[in-house]
Amino acid sequence: MLNSHMDVVPVYSEKWTHPPFAADIDNDGRIFARGAQDMKCVGMQYLAAIRRLRKDGVTLKRTIHVTFIPDEEISGEMGMKAFLKSAEFKKLNVGFCLDEGIASANETFSVFYAERSLWHVHFLISGTSGHGSLLHKNTVGQKLQNILNKLMEFRQNEIDRLENDPSLRLGDVTTVNLTVIKGGVQSNVVPSTLEVVFDMRLALNVDHDNFDRQLRAWCEEAGGGIEIQYEQKEAKVEATKIDSSNLFWVAFEKATTELNLKIQPLVFPAGTDAVYIRDAGIPAIGFSPINNTPVLLHDHDEFLQADVYLKGIVIYKKIVSAIGNA
Protein backbone atom coordinates (compact mmCIF):
# COMPACT_ATOMS: atom_id res chain seq x y z
CA MET A 1 0.00 0.00 0.00
CA LEU A 2 1.33 3.40 -1.04
CA ASN A 3 -0.38 5.82 1.32
CA SER A 4 -0.83 9.55 0.98
CA HIS A 5 -3.07 11.91 2.91
CA MET A 6 -5.08 14.46 0.95
CA ASP A 7 -5.61 17.05 3.68
CA VAL A 8 -3.20 19.87 4.50
CA VAL A 9 -2.93 22.36 7.33
CA PRO A 10 -4.44 25.86 6.92
CA VAL A 11 -2.52 28.77 5.42
CA TYR A 12 -2.05 32.44 6.18
CA SER A 13 -2.11 33.73 2.61
CA GLU A 14 -0.66 37.11 3.55
CA LYS A 15 2.52 35.34 4.73
CA TRP A 16 3.09 33.69 1.35
CA THR A 17 4.97 35.24 -1.57
CA HIS A 18 2.98 33.02 -3.98
CA PRO A 19 -0.68 31.95 -3.87
CA PRO A 20 -0.56 28.90 -1.58
CA PHE A 21 -2.82 26.71 -3.72
CA ALA A 22 -1.60 27.72 -7.17
CA ALA A 23 1.56 25.58 -7.37
CA ASP A 24 3.47 28.50 -8.86
CA ILE A 25 6.98 27.70 -10.05
CA ASP A 26 9.61 30.44 -9.91
CA ASN A 27 12.72 31.03 -12.02
CA ASP A 28 14.78 28.86 -9.66
CA GLY A 29 12.49 25.87 -10.24
CA ARG A 30 10.81 26.04 -6.83
CA ILE A 31 7.18 24.89 -6.75
CA PHE A 32 5.32 26.86 -4.08
CA ALA A 33 2.22 25.16 -2.69
CA ARG A 34 0.67 24.00 0.54
CA GLY A 35 1.32 20.28 0.40
CA ALA A 36 4.44 20.61 -1.75
CA GLN A 37 6.29 18.70 0.99
CA ASP A 38 3.45 17.46 3.21
CA MET A 39 2.41 15.46 1.28
CA LYS A 40 0.61 15.99 -2.02
CA CYS A 41 3.99 15.66 -3.73
CA VAL A 42 4.31 12.05 -2.57
CA GLY A 43 0.83 11.07 -3.73
CA MET A 44 1.56 12.48 -7.18
CA GLN A 45 4.98 10.80 -7.32
CA TYR A 46 3.35 7.43 -6.56
CA LEU A 47 1.03 7.86 -9.55
CA ALA A 48 3.80 9.07 -11.86
CA ALA A 49 6.04 6.15 -10.88
CA ILE A 50 3.23 3.64 -11.51
CA ARG A 51 2.48 5.25 -14.86
CA ARG A 52 6.12 4.77 -15.88
CA LEU A 53 6.10 1.14 -14.71
CA ARG A 54 2.95 0.45 -16.73
CA LYS A 55 4.39 2.22 -19.76
CA ASP A 56 7.45 -0.06 -19.51
CA GLY A 57 5.18 -3.11 -19.32
CA VAL A 58 6.39 -4.06 -15.84
CA THR A 59 4.41 -6.79 -14.05
CA LEU A 60 4.92 -7.20 -10.30
CA LYS A 61 4.39 -10.25 -8.12
CA ARG A 62 2.34 -8.23 -5.64
CA THR A 63 -0.64 -5.94 -6.08
CA ILE A 64 0.08 -2.27 -5.46
CA HIS A 65 -2.72 -0.27 -3.84
CA VAL A 66 -2.55 3.54 -3.74
CA THR A 67 -4.58 5.15 -0.96
CA PHE A 68 -5.49 8.82 -0.57
CA ILE A 69 -6.74 9.32 2.99
CA PRO A 70 -8.36 12.33 4.71
CA ASP A 71 -7.92 13.83 8.19
CA GLU A 72 -4.27 12.93 8.88
CA GLU A 73 -3.55 16.49 9.99
CA ILE A 74 -6.22 16.25 12.71
CA SER A 75 -4.98 12.92 14.12
CA GLY A 76 -6.45 10.46 11.57
CA GLU A 77 -9.29 9.23 13.80
CA MET A 78 -11.79 9.66 10.96
CA GLY A 79 -9.24 8.83 8.29
CA MET A 80 -6.73 5.98 8.45
CA LYS A 81 -7.87 4.72 11.86
CA ALA A 82 -11.43 4.33 10.62
CA PHE A 83 -10.36 2.94 7.24
CA LEU A 84 -8.33 0.16 8.86
CA LYS A 85 -11.50 -1.13 10.55
CA SER A 86 -13.43 -1.32 7.28
CA ALA A 87 -14.21 -4.34 5.14
CA GLU A 88 -12.76 -2.46 2.18
CA PHE A 89 -9.35 -2.30 3.82
CA LYS A 90 -9.39 -5.95 4.83
CA LYS A 91 -10.07 -6.95 1.22
CA LEU A 92 -6.80 -5.29 0.18
CA ASN A 93 -4.76 -7.89 2.12
CA VAL A 94 -1.99 -5.37 2.77
CA GLY A 95 1.40 -6.79 3.77
CA PHE A 96 3.50 -3.63 3.78
CA CYS A 97 2.96 0.14 3.57
CA LEU A 98 4.95 3.15 2.44
CA ASP A 99 3.85 6.44 4.02
CA GLU A 100 5.20 9.96 4.35
CA GLY A 101 8.55 11.06 5.69
CA ILE A 102 10.15 14.50 6.06
CA ALA A 103 12.41 16.51 3.80
CA SER A 104 16.13 16.43 4.55
CA ALA A 105 18.24 19.57 4.43
CA ASN A 106 21.33 17.62 3.34
CA GLU A 107 22.09 14.82 0.88
CA THR A 108 20.78 12.11 3.23
CA PHE A 109 17.24 10.72 2.90
CA SER A 110 15.39 10.16 6.19
CA VAL A 111 13.63 6.80 6.55
CA PHE A 112 11.24 6.34 9.48
CA TYR A 113 10.54 2.93 11.01
CA ALA A 114 8.71 3.97 14.19
CA GLU A 115 6.97 6.85 15.95
CA ARG A 116 6.89 8.14 19.48
CA SER A 117 3.63 7.86 21.41
CA LEU A 118 1.57 11.05 21.55
CA TRP A 119 0.04 12.03 24.88
CA HIS A 120 -2.01 15.21 25.32
CA VAL A 121 -2.27 15.56 29.09
CA HIS A 122 -4.65 17.91 30.91
CA PHE A 123 -3.91 18.71 34.57
CA LEU A 124 -7.09 19.96 36.29
CA ILE A 125 -5.82 21.77 39.38
CA SER A 126 -8.06 22.60 42.36
CA GLY A 127 -7.02 24.80 45.28
CA THR A 128 -7.96 27.41 47.84
CA SER A 129 -9.84 30.38 46.45
CA GLY A 130 -10.26 33.84 47.92
CA HIS A 131 -9.33 37.50 47.75
CA GLY A 132 -6.21 38.39 45.85
CA SER A 133 -4.83 40.48 48.73
CA LEU A 134 -4.30 37.48 51.02
CA LEU A 135 -1.70 34.70 51.23
CA HIS A 136 -3.84 31.59 51.03
CA LYS A 137 -2.32 28.14 51.38
CA ASN A 138 -2.63 25.38 48.77
CA THR A 139 -3.58 27.70 45.92
CA VAL A 140 -3.76 26.58 42.30
CA GLY A 141 -0.84 28.87 41.51
CA GLN A 142 1.43 27.07 43.96
CA LYS A 143 0.39 23.68 42.64
CA LEU A 144 0.84 24.84 39.06
CA GLN A 145 4.36 26.01 39.88
CA ASN A 146 5.22 22.58 41.30
CA ILE A 147 3.88 20.77 38.24
CA LEU A 148 5.70 23.17 35.92
CA ASN A 149 8.97 22.76 37.81
CA LYS A 150 8.83 18.97 37.61
CA LEU A 151 7.93 18.82 33.94
CA MET A 152 10.35 21.56 32.89
CA GLU A 153 13.17 19.86 34.80
CA PHE A 154 12.34 16.61 32.98
CA ARG A 155 12.22 18.55 29.69
CA GLN A 156 15.64 20.08 30.31
CA ASN A 157 17.12 16.67 31.07
CA GLU A 158 15.89 15.44 27.67
CA ILE A 159 17.37 18.53 25.99
CA ASP A 160 20.71 17.86 27.70
CA ARG A 161 20.65 14.21 26.59
CA LEU A 162 19.96 15.24 23.00
CA GLU A 163 22.68 17.90 22.95
CA ASN A 164 25.34 15.79 24.68
CA ASP A 165 24.89 12.53 22.78
CA PRO A 166 25.57 12.93 19.03
CA SER A 167 24.02 9.51 18.34
CA LEU A 168 20.57 10.74 19.43
CA ARG A 169 17.98 12.44 17.24
CA LEU A 170 14.77 14.21 18.24
CA GLY A 171 12.75 11.02 17.82
CA ASP A 172 14.97 9.26 20.39
CA VAL A 173 14.02 11.47 23.34
CA THR A 174 10.75 12.39 25.05
CA THR A 175 9.50 15.90 24.34
CA VAL A 176 7.32 17.85 26.78
CA ASN A 177 5.78 21.20 25.84
CA LEU A 178 3.31 23.44 27.65
CA THR A 179 0.55 24.32 25.19
CA VAL A 180 -2.45 25.70 27.13
CA ILE A 181 -3.18 27.37 30.48
CA LYS A 182 -6.81 28.20 31.30
CA GLY A 183 -8.47 29.60 34.40
CA GLY A 184 -9.27 32.58 36.57
CA VAL A 185 -12.28 34.90 36.76
CA GLN A 186 -10.80 38.33 37.41
CA SER A 187 -7.58 39.95 38.51
CA ASN A 188 -8.31 40.23 42.27
CA VAL A 189 -9.74 36.75 42.82
CA VAL A 190 -7.56 33.71 43.49
CA PRO A 191 -9.18 31.04 41.29
CA SER A 192 -10.36 27.71 42.65
CA THR A 193 -9.35 25.86 39.48
CA LEU A 194 -6.75 26.05 36.74
CA GLU A 195 -6.19 23.80 33.75
CA VAL A 196 -2.80 23.27 32.16
CA VAL A 197 -2.19 21.17 29.06
CA PHE A 198 1.02 19.54 27.85
CA ASP A 199 1.93 17.94 24.54
CA MET A 200 4.14 14.93 25.30
CA ARG A 201 5.79 12.58 22.81
CA LEU A 202 7.11 9.48 24.57
CA ALA A 203 10.31 7.90 23.26
CA LEU A 204 10.31 4.22 22.34
CA ASN A 205 12.20 3.22 25.50
CA VAL A 206 9.73 4.84 27.92
CA ASP A 207 7.58 2.50 30.03
CA HIS A 208 4.09 3.99 29.71
CA ASP A 209 2.76 2.72 33.03
CA ASN A 210 5.78 4.05 34.90
CA PHE A 211 5.50 7.41 33.16
CA ASP A 212 1.80 7.68 34.07
CA ARG A 213 2.63 6.83 37.71
CA GLN A 214 5.36 9.48 37.71
CA LEU A 215 2.92 12.16 36.53
CA ARG A 216 0.45 11.20 39.26
CA ALA A 217 3.20 11.18 41.90
CA TRP A 218 4.19 14.70 40.90
CA CYS A 219 0.55 15.76 41.31
CA GLU A 220 0.55 14.43 44.87
CA GLU A 221 3.87 16.10 45.63
CA ALA A 222 2.38 19.38 44.41
CA GLY A 223 -0.26 19.18 47.14
CA GLY A 224 -2.92 16.90 45.68
CA GLY A 225 -6.25 18.04 44.32
CA ILE A 226 -4.99 17.59 40.77
CA GLU A 227 -6.88 15.40 38.31
CA ILE A 228 -5.23 14.10 35.15
CA GLN A 229 -7.32 13.76 32.01
CA TYR A 230 -5.94 12.40 28.76
CA GLU A 231 -7.19 14.06 25.59
CA GLN A 232 -4.97 11.61 23.73
CA LYS A 233 -2.95 8.74 25.12
CA GLU A 234 -1.43 6.56 22.43
CA ALA A 235 -0.35 3.10 23.38
CA LYS A 236 3.13 1.90 22.57
CA VAL A 237 3.27 0.63 18.98
CA GLU A 238 5.96 -1.80 17.92
CA ALA A 239 8.54 -0.45 15.51
CA THR A 240 8.83 -1.86 12.01
CA LYS A 241 11.81 -4.20 11.83
CA ILE A 242 14.65 -2.90 9.69
CA ASP A 243 16.70 -6.08 9.44
CA SER A 244 16.82 -9.27 7.39
CA SER A 245 13.63 -10.59 9.04
CA ASN A 246 11.60 -8.01 7.06
CA LEU A 247 11.75 -8.90 3.38
CA PHE A 248 10.17 -5.56 2.43
CA TRP A 249 12.90 -3.65 4.27
CA VAL A 250 15.53 -5.79 2.52
CA ALA A 251 13.98 -4.90 -0.84
CA PHE A 252 13.67 -1.21 0.07
CA GLU A 253 17.27 -0.99 1.27
CA LYS A 254 18.59 -2.84 -1.78
CA ALA A 255 16.73 -0.44 -4.10
CA THR A 256 18.12 2.64 -2.34
CA THR A 257 21.62 1.15 -2.46
CA GLU A 258 21.35 0.55 -6.20
CA LEU A 259 20.20 4.17 -6.58
CA ASN A 260 23.23 5.33 -4.58
CA LEU A 261 20.99 6.99 -2.02
CA LYS A 262 22.32 7.67 1.45
CA ILE A 263 19.53 6.78 3.88
CA GLN A 264 19.27 7.29 7.63
CA PRO A 265 16.77 5.18 9.62
CA LEU A 266 15.08 7.32 12.27
CA VAL A 267 12.17 7.45 14.68
CA PHE A 268 9.59 9.92 13.38
CA PRO A 269 9.44 12.89 15.77
CA ALA A 270 5.78 13.72 15.13
CA GLY A 271 2.81 11.59 14.03
CA THR A 272 1.61 10.06 10.76
CA ASP A 273 -0.97 7.55 9.56
CA ALA A 274 1.76 4.91 9.71
CA VAL A 275 1.26 4.56 13.46
CA TYR A 276 -2.21 3.06 12.88
CA ILE A 277 -0.84 0.76 10.19
CA ARG A 278 1.92 -0.55 12.46
CA ASP A 279 -0.59 -0.93 15.28
CA ALA A 280 -2.58 -3.22 12.97
CA GLY A 281 0.49 -5.45 12.71
CA ILE A 282 1.51 -4.27 9.25
CA PRO A 283 5.12 -3.10 8.73
CA ALA A 284 5.34 0.47 7.50
CA ILE A 285 8.13 2.80 6.42
CA GLY A 286 7.85 6.57 6.25
CA PHE A 287 9.78 7.96 3.30
CA SER A 288 9.57 11.11 1.21
CA PRO A 289 12.20 11.28 -1.57
CA ILE A 290 13.16 14.86 -0.70
CA ASN A 291 16.73 15.82 0.14
CA ASN A 292 18.87 18.97 -0.08
CA THR A 293 15.68 20.86 0.76
CA PRO A 294 14.79 23.06 3.76
CA VAL A 295 12.13 21.45 5.97
CA LEU A 296 9.02 23.57 5.36
CA LEU A 297 6.08 21.32 6.18
CA HIS A 298 3.32 23.46 7.76
CA ASP A 299 5.45 26.58 7.15
CA HIS A 300 4.77 29.65 5.04
CA ASP A 301 6.07 29.46 1.45
CA GLU A 302 6.27 25.66 1.52
CA PHE A 303 8.07 24.62 -1.66
CA LEU A 304 9.74 21.75 -3.45
CA GLN A 305 12.36 22.01 -6.19
CA ALA A 306 11.04 20.68 -9.50
CA ASP A 307 14.18 18.61 -10.09
CA VAL A 308 13.86 17.04 -6.63
CA TYR A 309 10.23 16.20 -7.38
CA LEU A 310 11.15 14.58 -10.73
CA LYS A 311 14.03 12.65 -9.19
CA GLY A 312 11.57 11.37 -6.59
CA ILE A 313 9.51 9.74 -9.33
CA VAL A 314 12.58 7.81 -10.51
CA ILE A 315 13.31 6.79 -6.91
CA TYR A 316 9.75 5.55 -6.34
CA LYS A 317 9.75 3.66 -9.62
CA LYS A 318 12.74 1.65 -8.39
CA ILE A 319 11.42 1.18 -4.84
CA VAL A 320 7.87 0.23 -5.87
CA SER A 321 9.26 -2.33 -8.30
CA ALA A 322 11.52 -3.77 -5.60
CA ILE A 323 8.90 -4.11 -2.86
CA GLY A 324 6.30 -5.27 -5.39
CA ASN A 325 8.55 -8.21 -6.25
CA ALA A 326 9.69 -8.96 -2.69
| 114-130 pLDDT per residue, tens | 999 999 999 999 999 99
Classify domain 117-233 at the CATH topology level.
Answer: Alpha-Beta Plaits (3.30.70)
Q: pLDDT-based confidence at 13, cuts 50/70/90?
A: very high
Sheet holding 30-32, edge to edge: 24-25, 30-32, 303-305
Mean predicted lDDT score pLDDT of the chain: 97
Per-residue confidence (pLDDT) for residue 224, from 0 to 100 = 97
Active site residues: 7, 72
Total H helices, total E strands in the chain: 8, 15
- Provide the CATH topology of domain 2-115+237-324: Aminopeptidase (3.40.630)
64 burial (CB, 10 Å; 0-12 / 13-18 / 19+) is middle
Reported pTM: 0.92
Q: Where in the chain is the domain with CATH 3.30.70.360?
A: 117-233
pLDDT in tens, 50-89: 999 999 999 999 999 999 999 999 999 999 999 999 999 9
The mean per-residue pLDDT over the stretch 297-313 comes to 97
Residues 245-290 pLDDT 10s: 999 999 999 999 999 999 999 999 999 999 999 999 999 999 999 9
> What is the Cβ-side half-sphere exposure of residue 119, based on CA atoms within 13 angstroms?
24
Confidence of residue 162 (pLDDT cuts 50, 70, 90): very high
Q: What is the pLDDT of residues 231-249, one digit of tens each?
A: 999 999 999 999 999 999 9
| Sequence-distant (≥ 6) Cβ neighbours of residue 31 within 8 angstroms | 23, 24, 25, 303, 304, 305, 306, 309
Q: Which residues pair with 109 in a beta bridge?
A: 263
